[in-house]
Chain A
C-alpha cells in the first residue's frame, strides 16, 4: 500500500530535515568518532563507505522504479560507466607507476598500444572526469530513454530490453579492443589528486565525502519526490494513460527521471571505484543490475530510506555470507528475491505497517479508509491476450 502523495508532500519538508539530521548524526559524526576511538577499524570504515556509495545507486533505482514505475534491469550499466570514467582518470594519474613504467596503462602495453586512445584523453583532467562520471551515464540513459519511451515501450518490454542492453554492454566491455582493460577491467590505482589511495587519511576523507554526498542526494531526492514532479512521477506509475490525457508529455518525464537515475548511478560508480580500487565488466551486466532491484525491493521501494537500508543491508549480508558460504550465496540471493516479492511487498521498511494491518485484520477490525488499492487490477493492460478473431 503506497502512502498517499499528499502525505509525502506534507511530510516531505519536516521529515526530510529530521531524517537528514539523523543521517548527519550517524554518518558524519557518530561513525567518524567511533573510528577515531578505534572501535571501528579502517577496513570497516572503508567497507561501509562502499555500501554508502551503493546506497546512492539504490536511490536512483528507487526514483525510477518505486516512484515512477519504470523497472530497469540495466542500472548497473550507468554505475559502470561512471566507475569506468573515474577509473580512467585514476589510472592516468598513476601513470608511470605501472609495472612497465609507461605513461599508458599496463594493459595497453600488453595490447601493443603505443599511445592513449582518443577517448581516454579528456579524462586525464580530474574535474572533467568527475563531471564525466555523472554526465556520461546520464546521457546514455537519456539516449536509451529517447529510443524507448517515445515509442511507448514500457513495462515488461522495457525491462527485458534494458536487460538485453546490459548483457550487450557487458559483452562489449569484455573485449580488449575497447581498450578498457577487457575482462580484467581497470585497477591498480595509486593516487587521487596527488594523495595516495592506500593512505588511511585519504580513505577517511573519501568516506566523509561519500556520506556527505549520500545525504545530499537523499535530500535532493526527497525534495524531488515531494514536489510537483514527484506527483507526476506517481501519476505515471499509477495511471499513465490518464496523465497523458491530462496533457502531459509522458515520454519527456520518463526520460528526465531516467537520466537523473543514471546520473546518480554514475556518481555512485565514481565513488565506488575510488574506494574499492577496481572496476570490471562483471559489475556491469545482468546479475548486478538485478541485485540493485533486490536491494530496493527488500528495503522498501516506496521509501527512499528503505532503498538505502536495503542497499546497505544486503551488501553487508553478502560480505558476511560469501566469506562463510560462497557457494550458497546465489541460492540465498535467489531466495531473497522470492521472499521479498511474495511476503514483503513494501520491503523491510513497510513491514511494521504490514504487521500492524495484519494484526488488525486478525482482530476483526476493518481498516477504514485504507482499502488496499487494487493496484493490480487498475492495469489489466499488462496482461496481453490473444484476440480470438486474430489468428
Chain B
C-alpha cells in the first residue's frame, strides 16, 4: 500500500523524545557538549599526556645518567615536537631554570616546552643569570643525531630530506636501513626516492650477509653507479667471500667501462666544441689566405676584438638596460661581425692593398698591426676582464649521468655549422660569391666584365675578418676575454689552414675537426700537468709528418697551368 512520503515532523519522532521541540534541542545540545567534552578532554589529555611525557623526558635529559633513556624515549615518541628540543640540545641552546626546561631561541628569548617565552614584568625577555645549560653527553651525540635524522627524513623541505638521506647512506651502519625503508614507503618526490635507494644500497654493502652484498654489488654493476665505485673497490680489500669477490670485479669492470665510454664521449664533445670555434676562425683565414693570398697574422686579434665587443656591450647593458642584460648577446653577435668587418675594411684599404702578391710582407705587416692592437687592448681594457654569459646559456644537457653538454658550447657548435653554410652559400651560390671568385682568379677579365675588383677585395677581406669577430663573440661564452686570446687560437688556426689546404671548404672543416679533436683527445691521454703542452707539440709533429706526404695540404688548390710559365 503506497504511503505518502513522510516528512520529518515531530509526528515521526519517537514518542519518548516527543515531549517538545525545545526539549529535544536542549537534549541534543547536552549530548553534543558531553561528547565534545569527552573527545576534547581526551585529546587534551593525550596531548597533555604527550606533553607530559615530553616534559618528563625533557626532565630526564637534565641528568647525565637518565639522559640516554630519555633520548630513547623521545626517539620512540616519534613526534615532530621533539625536533626543536633535540636541536637545541645538540647546539647547546637547552637550559634549565628552577626545574623547568627552556630553549634559547634565535629571537633572543628563552622559550619553554610549550612555546611560551620567558618574559619579565615589563614584557621584555627575561635572561636570568642562573640559567643552567643542559650538557649533552658525548656518548649520546650520535644518538641525538640519529633521532634528528629520523625526523628529518620526513621534513617538509626536499633538500633537507635529500641531504639527510645522503648523510645516512654514508654511515656504515646497516641498522639505519629499516628507517630508510620506512621513509621510502612514504616518499613521493622522485629525486629523494632515487637518493634513498642509493643510500640503502650503500648500506647494504656493509651488510654481514654475503648474499645481500652480492645482490647489491650486482645491482650497482647493472646501474653503473659511479658513486659506488670507490666503495666497492674499498670493499674488495676486506672481502673474503669468493663469489662476492668475483661479483665485485665484474661490477667494477662494468662501471669503469661505462666511465671510460662517458669520458670518451666527453672528450669527443670537447673536441668538437673546440673544433667549432676553430672552424669559424679558420673559415675567415681560409677566405683571406686561400682566396686572396694574404697572410693575416692579426687574425687572432680580430677574434680578440670580437670578444671585446661582447664585453663592452655587456658593460653597456649592465649600466643602461640592466633588466635586459641577457639580451646584450643578441646585439653582440651581429655587432661583432660589423665592427670587426669594418676594422678589416680599414686594414685592407689603408694598408694591405699595397701588398698584394707579397704574402711574406703582408705577414709581417699584419703581425705588426696585431701587436699594436693587442697592446692597445691591454692598455685600454687591462688584463682582467670577464664576460658572464647570458642566463639562457647557463647549465646544460645531461646526456649521460655525470656528463653535461653545456648549452653555451652547443650553441657555438650550431653557430659554426651555420657560418659554414652561410660562407658556402655566399661564395658558391650567390652572385656576390661569383664576383669574388672571378676577381680572385682573373682580375683583368673580371674588370672587363664590369666588376670592381677594388670593392671585391675589400669586401672579401672584411668577410674574413668578420668571421673571426664572430668567433670571438661566441668564444666569450665559454672563455675569458683578454688580450692574449687571439694568440691562443691563431697557431691552431693556421695549422688548420696549412693542413686543410686552400682548395675546398671541406678541407678546412676536416682539418678543424682534426686539430680540435686531437687537441682534446691527446690531452687526457698524456698524463701530467704538461698535457696541453705536449698535446700541442705532438700535433705539430703530426702535421709536419703529414706534410711529408701531402705538402700542399689535404685539398690543395689544383690548377691547370695555363701558359707554359715556369711555376
Contact = CB atoms under 8 A, between A and B. Distances in A.
Interface of A: 71, 73, 147-148, 151-153, 155-157, 159-161, 163-165, 167-168, 171-172, 174-175, 177, 239, 241-242, 245, 290, 293-294, 297, 327-328, 330-331, 333-338, 340-342, 376-377, 379-388, 390-391
Interface string B337-360: 000000000000001001111111
Nearest to A293: B364
Nearest to B530: A175
A341 B365 contact: yes
B21 interface: no
20 contacts: A71-B360, A151-B547, A156-B360, A156-B363, A159-B295, A160-B295, A163-B494, A165-B540, A172-B533, A239-B566, A241-B567, A335-B368, A337-B365, A338-B368, A342-B355, A380-B357, A383-B292, A386-B440, A387-B560, A390-B557
B374 interface: yes
B149 to A, nearest CB: 48
Question: Taking chain B's interface residues, is the majority helix, strand, or loop, or is none over half, making it mixed?
Answer: helix
A171 B293 contact: no
A164 B495 contact: yes
Given A171-B533, A334-B371, A155 B566 contact: no
- Looking at A242, A376, A382, A385, the one whose CB has the most chain B CB atoms below 10 A away is A385
A159 B551 CA distance: 14
A191 to B, nearest CB: 33
A249 to B, nearest CB: 17
B141 interface: no
Interface of B: 289-293, 295, 351, 354-361, 363-365, 367-372, 374-376, 378-379, 428, 437, 440-441, 491, 494-495, 498, 502-504, 530, 533, 536-537, 540, 543-544, 547-548, 551, 555-560, 566-567
Given A157-B498, A331-B375, A377-B357, A388 B566 contact: no
6 shortest A-B CB distances, which residue pairs? A337-B368, A383-B293, A334-B371, A376-B357, A334-B372, A330-B375
Contact of B375 (A327, A337, A338): A327
Given A331-B372, A386-B290, A386-B557, 11 more contacts: A159-B363, A168-B537, A242-B566, A330-B372, A330-B375, A334-B371, A338-B365, A338-B369, A341-B365, A342-B354, A390-B555
A74 to B, nearest CB: 12
A386 B357 contact: no
A232 B437 CA distance: 37
B355 A383 contact: no
Nearest to B440: A385
Contacts of B502: 384, 386
B495 A341 contact: no
A337 B364 contact: yes
Contacts of A390: 503-504, 555, 557-558
Contact of B293 (A290, A341, A382): A382
Nearest to A290: B367
A160 B367 CA distance: 12
A337 B498 CA distance: 24
B197 to A, nearest CB: 47
A384 B290 contact: yes
A294 B540 CA distance: 26
B504 A341 contact: no
Nearest to B495: A164
A380 B437 CA distance: 16
Contacts of A342: 351, 354-355, 365
Contacts of B503: 384, 386-387, 390
> Among A148, A164, A172, which residue has the most Cβ atoms of chain B within 10 A?
A164
Contacts of B428: 391
A334 B291 contact: no
